[in-house]
Chain A
């Protein structure tokens, strides 16, 4: 369970922080150029952080007490492949979910 005090610190801190991220450039940097090396690193934040966040959950899911789970691994793989091939976020989500539910249902038989 999440502590209420911590929760509000995170909500307010994250609110201020993510607003600052958006305002810093639009409001303060204006159209002054940013160093190329910084832009080059910023280009890869999303593709590095998001997979890093989910990788442990795919390999050691909390729902199975950290036991590797075939339906979840397969669902992750299908989502990634469909997303890569179709470039369509919704198609990837639906294929991944269908794989997960399909395999969970088969395994429960």
Chain B
């Protein structure tokens, strides 16, 4: 809801508003990054490799996917394609932020691109829609504010996880932390029938193709799931039009 009284914002107040909005995400970011550190160590990565992975790639879900597939000895091309497919949503985020901050200088957009993640996108798009009178520099200040508490903890928690990693006993069943985390991330996204259909088709296909070599089953399942979701969306919209 756009506010009726136009707020006068400064760059500083925009930054601190972002900081306050971003801080609660530490509850998710810290355990998620630590989990990556722990699993990476268990897969045989040292602390430097783990930190480099987190810093260079900077995309949790894609990092977990790549780690999992490398442990299954999938070919490098499949590892890269699957992890990038998992990360395709950031391309959507980037596309959706463009109308708001597309007018910023190229160097700022180049930096913002690296930092376009779930949290910075989710906060920013809500804030920009609520206060459309914000200027582009104020929007960039807000975006920076959201990331300020998150980024240092993302790096630090990866290192911490890597340091404690090998001391975690098997009885903690950490093998299952990733499925639980991903299912928890996906469940709130299942907003429409089309989303549910996409997920169901992907799950069934993935189970049926589990024996397909080179982890190609994941690519087949993901593609079929996306096509099913897109097709369902078209059919449902058409049916709605006919009923109106």
Interface residues in chain A, defined as those with a beta carbon under 8 Å from any beta carbon in chain B: 1-2, 4, 6-7, 9-15, 17-19, 21-27, 29-31, 34, 37, 39-63, 72, 75-76, 79-84, 87-90, 92-93, 96-97, 100-101, 104
Contact = CB atoms under 8 A, between A and B. Distances in A.
A47 B59 CA distance: 16
A35 B211 CA distance: 35
B194 interface: yes
A7 B73 CA distance: 11
Question: Is chain A's binding surface mostly helix, strand, loop or mixed?
Answer: helix
A25 B76 CA distance: 26
Contact of A62 (B63, B171, B175, B180): B175
Contacts of B63: 14
Given A40-B233, A76-B179, A18 B28 contact: no
A48 B225 contact: yes
B225 A47 contact: yes
A93 B31 CA distance: 11
Contacts of A14: 56-57, 59, 62-63, 66, 80, 83-84
B226 A45 contact: yes
B49 interface: yes
A100 B175 CA distance: 11
B13 interface: no
B97 interface: yes
A22 B113 contact: yes
A27 to B, nearest CB: 5
B133 interface: no
Nearest to A84: B187
Contacts of A51: 182-183, 186, 199, 202-203, 206, 225
A56 B45 CA distance: 24
B95 A29 contact: yes
B201 interface: yes
Contacts of B201: 48
Contact of B186 (A6, A25, A37, A46): A46
Contacts of B218: 49, 52-53
B106 interface: yes
Contact of B57 (A11, A47, A56, A83): A11
Contacts of B94: 21-26
